[in-house]
Amino acid sequence: MNRRWFRLTAIVAEREIRQRGRSRAFAISTIVLLLVVAAGVTIPAILAHNAKPQRVGIVGGPAASMTEIMQEAGRLTGTGVTVVAEPSVAAGEAALRSGQLDVLLVDDTEVVVKQVAIAGSNGSGGTLASAIADVAGLSKLLGELPPGAAASGVTLPVRGLTPPSASLSRRLTGLFTVVLVWVLISAYGSQIAMGVGEEKSNRIVEVILASIRPVQLLVGKVSGIGVLALAQAALMVATFLGLGAAVGSSLVHGAAPGIVITGAVFLVLGYAFYCTAFAAAGSLVSRQSDVGTVILPVQIPLILAYTLSYTVIYASGASTFYRVLGFLPPTAPVAMPVLYAAGDVPAWQAAISAAGVAVGTVWMARTAATIYGRSILRTGSRVRLRQVLGRAPT
């Protein structure tokens, strides 16, 4: 591979970008996807502004000053607060479990919620419970000065009744990431397969392969289409973050940098893993209308991981099966961002999975290039995999 190799490959990529980038289909799909993202960000935010007031229970302490603390915390977080006095901690916790209460403040010692979110950098930041913890802690500090001073900090501990889990907004950001990865890989993957099928069925490959090698056509095609896919993804993420920040969406508050980075890494890896596989599948057919049949097997791992990702988003704790999917190269690009966003795996495990996908991508690219090179010029009936993966081409 020398400079000429890359120059000719770049010419192929450039054609893909120009031809597809200025097509009506690309413009329309970009607009539709951006509208979906915009709606997904703004509608929940608008609904959140009309949220019903939160019910806060208090146990012990002077009711007047504790009510004052609640109202101050409510004002800080923009939430309406209804204060309910509970006779005991046990009664308060029962009310929390049954959903009659959202937060319980016990004396000046702790704040209890049903479940603590693990998202965010400073506790459950931005929520009513944390604001109560801050304000009540400050109030306690002021009452105790000078004796205790700031010995143990000013924030009261926040305790959850059930094990901690990622906040829903964090999970929803994870869902957004997964939908993005899934939509882009599927959409652009089938475009690659269709494009390869087109070139094969109208025989332009013969003209092109008279001057460049199959692998150059393959690499040029997938990288050209990949640039478009990434540009579209970047636009969507920018819209998500920009609009989200503008309307104060809780989805964006959940968008810890880790989730965005994980999503981006797996989007690139997932595309790289699948693009060559889609191209190889497209090279097997002689008629473009057969492309749908050959890409289905390629899509199955993606479909599986994507469908099951909803069970992780809306449940606490992923199943062992889904965790395994998170480490298998074909399913990891969809499964791992979900697992990470849901807080089911730490960052280092996501990194291991990413490395696995990268290795898998190299293997896939080699295999796909072999299949592509051996089948792109074979006309007639559909080429069977076993015909092209044997030791020597027949």
Partner 1 sequence: MTVTSAAARPGTAPRRASLELIGLSRRFGSVVALDGLTFSVPPGQVFGFLGPNGAGKTTAMRAIFGVVALDAGEVRWQGEPVTEQARRGFGYMPEERGLYPGMQILDQLEYLGRLHDMTASSARGAAQSWITRLGLAGRESAKLEALSHGNQQRVQLAAALMHDPELLVLDEPFAGLDPGGVDDMTEILAERARAGVTVLFSSHQLDLVEHICEAVAIIHRGQVVAQGAVSALERGDRLRLAVRVAGDPDGDWARQLDPQVASVEQVKSGTVLLVLAPGADSQRVLDAARAAGAVEHFSFATRRLSEVFRDVVGEDAPS
**At closest approach, how far in Å is the CB of 285 from partner 1?**
15
**At closest approach, how far in Å is the CB of 4 from partner 1?**
8
**At closest approach, how far in Å is the CB of 20 from partner 1?**
11
The footprint of partner 1 on residues 12-41 (CB under 8 A) is: 12, 15, 18-19
The footprint of partner 1 on residues 206-235 (CB under 8 A) is: 206-213
**At closest approach, how far in Å is the CB of 185 from partner 1?**
24
**CB–CB of 173/254 below 8 Å?**
yes
Number of residues that bind partner 1 (CB under 8 A): 24
Among 97, 203, 366, 384, binds partner 1 (CB under 8 A): 203
Note whether 198 binds partner 1 by CB under 8 A.
yes
Q: Is the peptide bond before 146 cis (omega within 30 degrees of 0)?
A: yes
How big is the CA angle at 237 (ends 235 and 243), to the nearest 5 degrees? 95
Element (H, E) at 178: helix 168-201
The single-letter DSSP state of residue 288 is G
Q: CA–CA separation, 229 vs 182, rounded Å? A: 12
Of the pair 112, 371, the CB lying nearest partner 1 is at 371
- The HSE-up count of residue 243 (CA atoms within 13 Å, CB side) is 20
**CB–CB of 326/295 below 8 Å?**
no
Among 8, 95, 154, 179, binds partner 1 (CB under 8 A): 8
Q: Residues 352-391 vs partner 1: string with x where CB under 8 A?
A: -------------------------x-x------------
Stretch that binds partner 1, among 88-96, 198-206, 247-255, 323-331 (CB under 8 A): 198-206
Secondary structure of residue 71 in the 3-state scheme: helix
Note whether 289 binds partner 1 by CB under 8 A.
no
Residues recorded for the chain: 394
Q: Count Cβ neighbours within 10 Å for each residue of 340-362 and write b for 16 or more, e otherwise.
A: bbbbbbeeebbeebbebbeebbe
Q: Which two tokens stand for residue 258?
A: 């880790």
Stretch that binds partner 1, among 66-74, 89-97, 194-202, 258-266 (CB under 8 A): 194-202
Of the pair 149, 207, the CB lying nearest partner 1 is at 207
Note whether 159 binds partner 1 by CB under 8 A.
no
Note whether 50 binds partner 1 by CB under 8 A.
no
Q: CA–CA separation, 262 vs 118, rounded Å? A: 17
Question: Beta strands of the chain (E only): which ranges?
Answer: 54-59, 81-85, 103-106, 110-117, 158-165
**At closest approach, how far in Å is the CB of 213 from partner 1?**
8
Q: CA–CA separation, 243 vs 368, rounded Å? A: 40
**At closest approach, how far in Å is the CB of 8 from partner 1?**
6
Question: Beta strands of 252-304 (E only): which ranges?
Answer: none
Note whether 202 binds partner 1 by CB under 8 A.
yes
Among 43, 204, 324, 359, binds partner 1 (CB under 8 A): 204
Q: Which residues bind partner 1 (CB under 8 A)?
A: 8, 11-12, 15, 18-19, 198-199, 202-213, 377, 379, 393-394
